[in-house]
Structure 1
Amino acid sequence: MSMTIETTTLWIHACEVRDLEPGWGEVALLGGRQVALVRVAGDEVYAVDHEDPHTGAPVMARGITGSRGDRPTIASPLHKQVYDLATGECFTDPSLALRTYRARVVDGAVEVEVDLAA
């Protein structure tokens, strides 16, 4: 008997990595969601919800990028909560978390994994 496993995620082409300026965010509409793409160094790209977890405003792509030690971060442009770009953990308010997405660069293209069930 064979078993069929249904995939609920999909890698979606977002843009070319050269379209992203290091240290700045851009917004992409992927699978009906606004996703903030942040290029940090070289071709390293992170993808997070564009919606600020504290206020619900769509502003995270305009956040301030930086780091805490070796962990790349983004701070909300509204109230300055600081989030880990890889995990979504909020350093300044543990009750908040920023949704993150897996991102990769393939042949110069940024792809983001989106959960179709969400």
Structure 2
Amino acid sequence: MTDDRDSRRPSEDLGGPGEERSAGGERQVKLLAGRLACLVGILFGIGGIVAAFFGGGAAVSPGAVGAMLGILGYFLGSRRLGTFTVLLCVGALFFGLAASQGLIPGIDASDRNLPAREPAAE
């Protein structure tokens, strides 16, 4: 009973030690890129909420970009952080739109500011 495979050589099905290490490194780079995308998306989501507090109006763009970055992070391997980012940014979208309509107490509606006196009434 002879073994055709030499035990001193790396197995061909694993691709050798160099290729195995590069595949792990590639996975780590994807995970790092996913986490960075999620962190930037979280910053966009928090920025959308802060903009609504300071009367920035219905700023939908930061929430939408943040949600897209969360989806990107999810597909790059950062599952939990990506899910959190998407949920935060969608919540920021709803909060910003509710604040622009005047539904949040303490924040004036920013989508319809009428003048104190109607100019055509004079």
Q: Quick check: which one's helix share is greater?
A: 2
User: TM-score band, normalised by the shorter chain?
Assistant: under 0.3
Q: Normalising to structure 1: TM-score of the pair?
A: 0.20
- Higher RCO (CA-CA < 8 Å; seq separation 6+): 1
More strand by share: 1
